[in-house]
Chains A and B, each alone.
Chain A
Amino acid sequence: NAGVTQTPKFRVLKTGQSMTLLCAQDMNHEYMYWYRQDPGMGLRLIHYSVGEGTTAKGEVPDGYNVSRLKKQNFLLGLESAAPSQTSVYFCASARGLAGGTDTQYFGPGTRLTVL
Protein backbone atom coordinates (compact mmCIF):
# COMPACT_ATOMS: atom_id res chain seq x y z
CA ASN A 1 0.00 0.00 0.00
CA ALA A 2 1.22 3.48 -0.86
CA GLY A 3 -0.84 5.04 1.95
CA VAL A 4 -1.51 8.72 1.37
CA THR A 5 0.17 10.34 -1.61
CA GLN A 6 0.23 13.96 -2.70
CA THR A 7 1.09 15.63 -5.99
CA PRO A 8 2.94 17.80 -6.71
CA LYS A 9 5.68 17.86 -4.06
CA PHE A 10 6.73 21.41 -4.83
CA ARG A 11 5.15 24.26 -6.75
CA VAL A 12 5.83 27.94 -7.32
CA LEU A 13 2.96 30.17 -8.40
CA LYS A 14 2.59 33.82 -9.25
CA THR A 15 -0.06 35.85 -7.48
CA GLY A 16 -3.43 35.33 -9.15
CA GLN A 17 -2.61 31.96 -10.70
CA SER A 18 -4.69 28.91 -9.95
CA MET A 19 -3.73 25.35 -9.19
CA THR A 20 -5.05 22.07 -7.83
CA LEU A 21 -3.34 19.83 -5.30
CA LEU A 22 -4.21 16.15 -5.53
CA CYS A 23 -4.40 13.75 -2.60
CA ALA A 24 -4.93 10.03 -3.05
CA GLN A 25 -5.28 7.24 -0.50
CA ASP A 26 -5.46 3.50 -1.07
CA MET A 27 -6.64 2.48 2.40
CA ASN A 28 -10.38 2.74 1.65
CA HIS A 29 -10.70 5.49 4.25
CA GLU A 30 -13.95 7.42 4.56
CA TYR A 31 -12.56 10.67 5.95
CA MET A 32 -10.04 12.94 4.25
CA TYR A 33 -8.53 16.25 5.31
CA TRP A 34 -6.46 19.15 4.01
CA TYR A 35 -4.20 21.06 6.41
CA ARG A 36 -1.70 23.83 6.04
CA GLN A 37 1.38 24.13 8.22
CA ASP A 38 3.17 27.41 8.79
CA PRO A 39 6.20 28.11 11.00
CA GLY A 40 5.23 28.25 14.65
CA MET A 41 1.52 27.73 13.95
CA GLY A 42 1.12 23.98 13.84
CA LEU A 43 -1.43 22.25 11.63
CA ARG A 44 -4.55 24.17 10.67
CA LEU A 45 -7.51 22.45 9.06
CA ILE A 46 -8.61 23.93 5.74
CA HIS A 47 -11.41 21.60 4.58
CA TYR A 48 -12.39 18.03 5.23
CA SER A 49 -14.66 15.33 3.87
CA VAL A 50 -16.51 12.56 5.69
CA GLY A 51 -17.36 10.64 2.56
CA GLU A 52 -17.49 10.62 -1.21
CA GLY A 53 -19.41 13.63 -2.50
CA THR A 54 -19.30 15.53 0.82
CA THR A 55 -17.06 18.39 1.96
CA ALA A 56 -17.03 20.76 4.91
CA LYS A 57 -15.12 23.85 6.01
CA GLY A 58 -12.39 23.68 8.58
CA GLU A 59 -10.61 26.38 10.52
CA VAL A 60 -9.11 28.36 7.60
CA PRO A 61 -11.20 27.69 4.45
CA ASP A 62 -11.07 31.11 2.77
CA GLY A 63 -9.36 31.14 -0.61
CA TYR A 64 -9.60 27.36 -1.04
CA ASN A 65 -12.10 24.96 -2.56
CA VAL A 66 -12.22 21.18 -2.42
CA SER A 67 -13.89 18.28 -4.16
CA ARG A 68 -14.31 14.60 -3.29
CA LEU A 69 -15.74 13.04 -6.43
CA LYS A 70 -14.12 9.68 -5.73
CA LYS A 71 -13.62 8.09 -2.32
CA GLN A 72 -9.89 7.71 -2.81
CA ASN A 73 -9.20 11.27 -3.99
CA PHE A 74 -9.48 14.67 -2.33
CA LEU A 75 -8.59 17.74 -4.38
CA LEU A 76 -7.64 21.16 -3.00
CA GLY A 77 -7.98 24.11 -5.33
CA LEU A 78 -6.62 27.63 -5.17
CA GLU A 79 -8.56 29.81 -7.61
CA SER A 80 -6.43 32.96 -7.28
CA ALA A 81 -3.26 32.35 -5.31
CA ALA A 82 -2.02 34.95 -2.83
CA PRO A 83 1.36 35.22 -1.06
CA SER A 84 -0.43 34.47 2.23
CA GLN A 85 -1.08 30.98 0.86
CA THR A 86 2.63 30.19 0.81
CA SER A 87 2.78 27.17 3.09
CA VAL A 88 3.27 23.43 3.33
CA TYR A 89 0.04 21.55 2.62
CA PHE A 90 -0.70 18.15 4.09
CA CYS A 91 -3.45 15.75 3.23
CA ALA A 92 -4.61 13.13 5.74
CA SER A 93 -7.12 10.31 5.79
CA ALA A 94 -8.89 8.31 8.49
CA ARG A 95 -11.12 5.25 8.59
CA GLY A 96 -14.06 7.18 10.02
CA LEU A 97 -14.72 5.28 13.24
CA ALA A 98 -17.76 6.17 15.34
CA GLY A 99 -17.08 8.53 18.21
CA GLY A 100 -14.00 10.11 16.68
CA THR A 101 -11.48 7.64 18.13
CA ASP A 102 -9.64 7.56 14.89
CA THR A 103 -6.05 8.06 13.78
CA GLN A 104 -5.32 10.30 10.84
CA TYR A 105 -2.60 9.22 8.42
CA PHE A 106 -0.69 11.93 6.61
CA GLY A 107 0.83 12.35 3.18
CA PRO A 108 4.34 13.70 2.56
CA GLY A 109 3.22 17.27 1.92
CA THR A 110 3.27 19.84 -0.89
CA ARG A 111 5.46 22.90 -0.50
CA LEU A 112 3.76 25.84 -2.23
CA THR A 113 5.35 29.23 -2.76
CA VAL A 114 3.30 32.14 -4.10
CA LEU A 115 5.34 35.06 -5.41
Chain B
Amino acid sequence: GESVGLHLPTLSVQEGDNSIINCAYSNSASDYFIWYKQESGKGPQFIIDIRSNMDKRQGQRVTVLLNKTVKHLSLQIAATQPGDSAVYFCAENGSSYKLIFGSGTRLLVRP
Protein backbone atom coordinates (compact mmCIF):
# COMPACT_ATOMS: atom_id res chain seq x y z
CA GLY B 1 0.00 0.00 0.00
CA GLU B 2 0.92 3.65 -0.16
CA SER B 3 3.50 4.58 2.44
CA VAL B 4 3.30 8.34 1.95
CA GLY B 5 2.12 10.21 4.98
CA LEU B 6 2.75 7.66 7.72
CA HIS B 7 3.00 10.43 10.31
CA LEU B 8 0.43 12.86 8.94
CA PRO B 9 -2.24 14.47 11.10
CA THR B 10 -5.49 12.62 10.57
CA LEU B 11 -9.06 13.80 10.49
CA SER B 12 -11.69 11.10 10.95
CA VAL B 13 -15.30 11.95 10.03
CA GLN B 14 -18.56 10.10 9.70
CA GLU B 15 -19.89 9.61 6.20
CA GLY B 16 -22.37 12.38 5.46
CA ASP B 17 -20.84 14.87 7.88
CA ASN B 18 -18.96 17.98 6.80
CA SER B 19 -15.15 17.98 6.93
CA ILE B 20 -12.88 20.95 7.59
CA ILE B 21 -9.17 20.65 6.81
CA ASN B 22 -6.91 23.47 7.88
CA CYS B 23 -3.60 24.79 6.63
CA ALA B 24 -1.31 27.54 7.86
CA TYR B 25 0.78 29.10 5.12
CA SER B 26 4.14 30.70 5.53
CA ASN B 27 4.57 33.65 3.19
CA SER B 28 2.47 36.77 3.66
CA ALA B 29 3.35 37.77 0.08
CA SER B 30 1.75 34.63 -1.39
CA ASP B 31 -1.24 35.54 -3.53
CA TYR B 32 -2.38 32.22 -4.92
CA PHE B 33 -3.39 29.08 -3.07
CA ILE B 34 -4.39 25.59 -4.15
CA TRP B 35 -5.83 22.52 -2.50
CA TYR B 36 -4.80 19.11 -3.80
CA LYS B 37 -6.19 15.65 -3.06
CA GLN B 38 -3.90 12.62 -3.18
CA GLU B 39 -5.40 9.16 -3.12
CA SER B 40 -3.30 6.15 -2.23
CA GLY B 41 -0.90 5.26 -5.04
CA LYS B 42 -1.80 8.26 -7.19
CA GLY B 43 -0.47 11.71 -7.94
CA PRO B 44 -1.88 14.88 -6.35
CA GLN B 45 -5.09 16.03 -8.02
CA PHE B 46 -6.23 19.67 -8.20
CA ILE B 47 -9.39 20.37 -6.21
CA ILE B 48 -9.84 24.12 -5.97
CA ASP B 49 -7.81 27.32 -5.94
CA ILE B 50 -8.22 30.84 -4.61
CA ARG B 51 -6.48 34.15 -5.20
CA SER B 52 -5.63 36.56 -2.42
CA ASN B 53 -8.21 39.12 -3.54
CA MET B 54 -10.91 36.68 -2.43
CA ASP B 55 -11.71 35.23 0.98
CA LYS B 56 -14.04 32.46 -0.13
CA ARG B 57 -14.53 30.32 -3.19
CA GLN B 58 -16.96 27.48 -3.75
CA GLY B 59 -16.83 24.44 -5.96
CA GLN B 60 -18.87 21.31 -6.13
CA ARG B 61 -19.21 20.19 -2.48
CA VAL B 62 -15.99 22.03 -1.59
CA THR B 63 -15.36 25.51 -0.26
CA VAL B 64 -12.02 27.16 0.37
CA LEU B 65 -11.70 29.96 2.90
CA LEU B 66 -8.73 32.30 3.07
CA ASN B 67 -7.84 34.42 6.09
CA LYS B 68 -4.87 36.56 5.14
CA THR B 69 -4.69 38.24 8.53
CA VAL B 70 -3.63 35.03 10.24
CA LYS B 71 -2.26 33.30 7.12
CA HIS B 72 -4.78 30.49 7.30
CA LEU B 73 -6.46 28.44 4.62
CA SER B 74 -9.23 25.90 5.07
CA LEU B 75 -10.98 23.36 2.88
CA GLN B 76 -14.55 22.44 3.69
CA ILE B 77 -16.06 19.31 2.18
CA ALA B 78 -19.83 19.00 2.43
CA ALA B 79 -21.53 15.64 2.95
CA THR B 80 -18.26 13.73 3.07
CA GLN B 81 -18.25 10.48 1.10
CA PRO B 82 -16.00 7.38 1.27
CA GLY B 83 -14.39 8.50 -1.99
CA ASP B 84 -13.15 11.63 -0.21
CA SER B 85 -10.74 9.55 1.87
CA ALA B 86 -7.28 10.76 0.86
CA VAL B 87 -4.42 13.02 1.87
CA TYR B 88 -5.12 16.71 1.30
CA PHE B 89 -2.34 19.25 0.65
CA CYS B 90 -2.48 23.00 0.53
CA ALA B 91 0.01 24.91 -1.62
CA GLU B 92 0.97 28.57 -1.95
CA ASN B 93 2.90 30.26 -4.73
CA GLY B 94 6.34 30.74 -3.25
CA SER B 95 7.68 32.52 -6.33
CA SER B 96 6.83 33.08 -9.96
CA TYR B 97 7.68 29.50 -10.81
CA LYS B 98 7.23 27.40 -7.71
CA LEU B 99 4.61 26.23 -5.26
CA ILE B 100 5.27 25.62 -1.57
CA PHE B 101 3.40 22.54 -0.37
CA GLY B 102 2.14 21.83 3.12
CA SER B 103 2.83 18.45 4.66
CA GLY B 104 -0.75 17.26 4.28
CA THR B 105 -3.69 15.98 6.33
CA ARG B 106 -5.14 12.50 6.00
CA LEU B 107 -8.94 12.38 5.84
CA LEU B 108 -10.58 9.11 6.88
CA VAL B 109 -14.29 8.66 6.26
CA ARG B 110 -16.07 6.21 8.56
CA PRO B 111 -19.02 4.36 7.00
Contact residues of A with B, CB < 8 Å? 4, 31, 33, 37-43, 45, 48, 50, 56, 58, 88, 90, 98-109
Contact = CB atoms under 8 A, between A and B. Distances in A.
Contacts of B36: 106
B42 A109 contact: yes
Given A39-B4, A42-B103, A88-B4, A106 B98 contact: no
Given A106-B45, A109-B42, A39 B3 contact: yes
B61 interface: no
Nearest to B52: A101
Interface residues of B, number: 30
A104 B6 contact: no
A102 B32 contact: yes
A66 to B, nearest CB: 14
A100 B103 contact: no
A43 B44 contact: yes
Contacts of B101: 42-43
Give 4 closest A-B pairs by Cβ, nearest first. Answer: A106-B43, A100-B93, A101-B32, A40-B7
Interface of B: 3-8, 31-32, 34, 36, 41-46, 49, 51, 89, 91, 93, 95-99, 101-104
Q: Which of B4, B97, B98 has the most CB of A within 10 A?
A: B97
A40 B45 CA distance: 19
A99 B96 contact: yes
Nearest to B42: A108
Contact of A40 (B51, B102, B103): B103
Given A48-B98, A90-B44, A39 B5 contact: yes
Given A100-B93, A108-B43, A58 B49 contact: no
Contacts of A104: 34, 91, 99
B6 A100 contact: no
Contact of A100 (B7, B95, B102): B95
B97 A40 contact: no
Nearest to B33: A101
